Amino acid sequence: MKSIMDIMKKARAKGVLVPALNVAHLPMTEPMIKAAVETKTFILIEVSRVDWNNFGAESLAAVFHEYQKYRSEKYTRIHLDHIPVIDENQVKLDYMAFMKEAVELGYDSVMIDGSRLALSENIAAAKEVCELVHVAGIAVEAELGAVLGHEAGPVPPYEELFASGKGFTDVDEAIRFIKESGCDWLSVAVGNIHGAITGAAMGEKKPEARINLEHLSNLNDALGVPLVLHGGSGINLDYVRKSVPLGIVKMNIGTELRQTYENALSGDGTIEKAQEKLYERCCGIFNDELYVAGKAELLI
């Protein structure tokens, strides 16, 4: 089976975007994969600690086992998303325990999020994860900068964030980070934001985000590795299209899909109807050329 490291490198070389879909509730897994197979799109199924702590994903093991029921070697791989060193409530986690479990289960890639740490500490955490999982052929994604939205309390207005460049990934820091950590992909902050995960805001539509394309271009030129766009739901699609030639290879889509599933579930009350609505939404995303979805024949 072709490794996710090779697939992502090929995607970067060919200018292909790989959609990464967050499983917030276990029954979301089947329609996501069904839509990928139907549209011949290569995707990552992923789950984060937020998905099992705040929603209905249950655990990283539960999602892995659900994924195994429907997985397709040609169209899917599984990724462990956002395992923070320090979480949104400023609690320090035993992040290596999650990484060890992911290795034992057979995840294809993992993400360590040390973005709330000082640069040297973030590098050290990412390097520790790389040393553990690379032996098993597992790719590592890390984050540098602050993709806001998961923090407790209100986030500053989007226009204020974008204009100030608050939290944007620093180019010089990123060069050092890639060199010293050994990570394979880097999640960057270039105007993208996460959806809210608590309170009334978690059901609200996200602000339409933009990408600072000049800043992204500078990062891409300096780093030479696949770059990742978190908070894909709600980003203006013109910016998504323009971001792919500038190094964005993977885009996380979580809030939009979770809300599609939850709204259908609350409206009709059946999991089957919610799965159908999610399947239709995923097909719509994968068939929209503005998303530059990664057709499998280009990658596998």
pLDDT tens digits, residue range 2-25?
999 999 999 999 888 999 999 999
The pLDDT value recorded for residue 153 is: 55
The pLDDT tens digits of the residues spanning 81-110 come to: 999 999 888 899 999 999 999 999 999 999
Cβ burial 114-148 (10 Å sphere, 16+ → b, else e): bbbbeeeebbbbbbbbbebbeeeebbbbbbbbbbb
DSSP assignment string, 274-297: HHHHHHHHHHHHHH-GGG-B-BGG
The pLDDT value recorded for residue 199 is: 44
Q: Which of 183, 177, 186, 236 is nearest to 212 (CA)?
A: 236
Regarding predicted confidence, which is higher, 205 or 103?
A: 103
The pLDDT value recorded for residue 299 is: 79
Burial class (CB in 10 A: 0-12, 13-18, 19+), 38: middle
The pLDDT tens digits of the residues spanning 253-288 come to: 998 999 999 999 997 789 999 999 999 999 999 987
Q: Is the pLDDT of residue 236 over 90?
A: no
The pLDDT tens digits of the residues spanning 186-198 come to: 999 998 776 553 4
Q: What is the CA radius of gyration of the chain?
A: 17
The pLDDT value recorded for residue 202 is: 47
Within the chain, what is the greatest distance between any pair of CA atoms?
A: 51
The pLDDT value recorded for residue 197 is: 39
pLDDT tier for residue 156 given thresholds of 50, 70 and 90? low
Under 8 Å between Cβ of 12 and 43: no
The pLDDT value recorded for residue 161 is: 73
Q: Is the pLDDT of residue 56 over 60?
A: yes
Start-to-end C-alpha separation, the chain: 9
Note the helical H segments in the chain: 4-14, 29-39, 49-54, 60-70, 95-105, 119-133, 158-164, 171-181, 213-223, 237-243, 255-268, 271-287
Cα(144)–Cα(74) distance, integer angstroms: 31
The pLDDT tens digits of the residues spanning 135-154 come to: 999 999 999 987 665 545 56
The pLDDT value recorded for residue 35 is: 96
% of the chain with per-residue pLDDT over 90: 71
The pLDDT value recorded for residue 188 is: 94
The pLDDT value recorded for residue 294 is: 59
The pLDDT value recorded for residue 217 is: 97
Q: Is the pLDDT of residue 170 over 60?
A: yes
Q: Which of 63, 155, 71, 59 is nearest to 98 (CA)?
A: 59
Least confident span in 153-162, 185-194, 196-205, 225-234? 196-205
Cα(229)–Cα(223) distance, integer angstroms: 15
The pLDDT value recorded for residue 232 is: 73
The residue behind tokens 């999640």 is 187
Architecture in CATH of 4-298: Alpha-Beta Barrel (3.20)
Mean residue pLDDT of the chain comes to 89
Q: Is the pLDDT of residue 126 over 60?
A: yes
Regarding predicted confidence, which is higher, 208 or 82?
A: 82
Backbone angles phi, psi at 22, to 5 degrees: -85, 130
pTM of the predicted structure, to 2 decimals? 0.90
DSSP-derived secondary structure letter, 10: H
